[in-house]
A and B are shown apart, each in its own frame.
Chain A
């Protein structure tokens, strides 16, 4: 199992880097890394060191994103969701977890695909107090790290079998990965085609609208409407509904 060998040799550093980068949103395999770290503890890596290292790296990454969400609002979330097939649904379905289950979402966020990297910046953008975030996030990350690392430790012989099978499967797996990749591209294409029905909606640059408003005649009625969803208002001022004419 090559990944176990890498972890066994460069153990703590690799685990810390992968956990930190995955926590800040990069698509890296947190659970597989922890499984490998657990398995590698039978080959020289010390569990009592790798667990706190993994935990600290993940919490550090989450804290960075928490402050990112706190000070950039939903801008950061939009950026992180950009690679998703449906970016808007990505943000709102993740936010839905917080609306339904409150701050305790942080305890299990890492276990839910897609929600893990978004939970911390969401907590920041929804103004969760930092100490409360830290407490809940630390507990959730600890649970996540312990479960996967201990699973790797216990099931190490089986992991070796799985690794051998993966090595034998070789080309078949490559085909599966390619098919999944094509599926993703197809999904993007379908969403793009569905969005074409909105092409008829005229978009006007803000500067052009201002010029148009300045040339208005008194008999004309113009409404500028704020349709931001969830009642969310950006920090600071907002354009109100304005009626001219």
Chain B
């Protein structure tokens, strides 16, 4: 993890929050660790709209919210 926190490594964060709130908060914490971090404005939706590549999350990585079924 530490190698990714070097200033030469660029980190871009995205979420799906109102005003990219989670990304901004995480970026603020990483910046305090001297990481070179940025937030993708508009989050995942903006990335898809700009034609960015996406792929399905592997089933083993998905964390399901409680579903009332």
Residues on A lying within 8 angstroms of B by beta carbon are 74, 78, 81-82, 87-88, 98-99, 102-103, 123, 126-129, 132, 197-198, 200-207, 209-210, 220-234, 237-240
Contacts and interface: CB of A to CB of B under 8 A. Distances in A.
A201 B39 contact: yes
A114 B13 CA distance: 31
Interface in B1-32: 4, 8-18, 20-28, 31
Most chain A CB within a 10 A radius of its CB, from B16, B39, B50, B64: B16
28 contacts: A78-B17, A88-B17, A126-B65, A198-B27, A200-B31, A201-B31, A203-B41, A204-B40, A205-B40, A205-B50, A207-B50, A221-B9, A222-B10, A222-B11, A224-B12, A224-B40, A226-B44, A227-B13, A227-B26, A228-B15, A228-B16, A229-B17, A231-B62, A232-B16, A234-B16, A238-B56, A238-B57, A239-B47
Most chain B CB within a 10 A radius of its CB, from A74, A103, A227: A227
Contact of A231 (B11, B12, B47, B64): B64
A225 B65 contact: no
Q: Is the interface of B mostly helix, strand, loop or mixed?
A: mixed
B16 A206 contact: no
Given A127-B68, A203-B39, 9 more contacts: A198-B24, A201-B24, A202-B38, A220-B10, A225-B12, A233-B63, A234-B16, A237-B55, A239-B48
Contacts of B9: 221-223
Contact of A132 (B28, B53, B68): B68
B56 to A, nearest CB: 5
Given A201-B31, A227-B26, A210 B51 contact: yes
A213 to B, nearest CB: 9
A88 B16 CA distance: 11
Contact of B69 (A129, A209, A227, A229): A129
Contacts of A205: 40-42, 46, 50
Contact of A203 (B10, B38, B54): B38
B66 A98 contact: yes
Contacts of B50: 205-207, 209-210
Interface of B: 4, 8-18, 20-28, 31, 37-42, 44, 46-57, 62-69
Contacts, number: 150
Contacts of B21: 88
A234 to B, nearest CB: 6
Contact of B14 (A102, A198, A207, A227): A227
A129 B28 CA distance: 39
A239 B31 contact: no
A228 B64 CA distance: 13
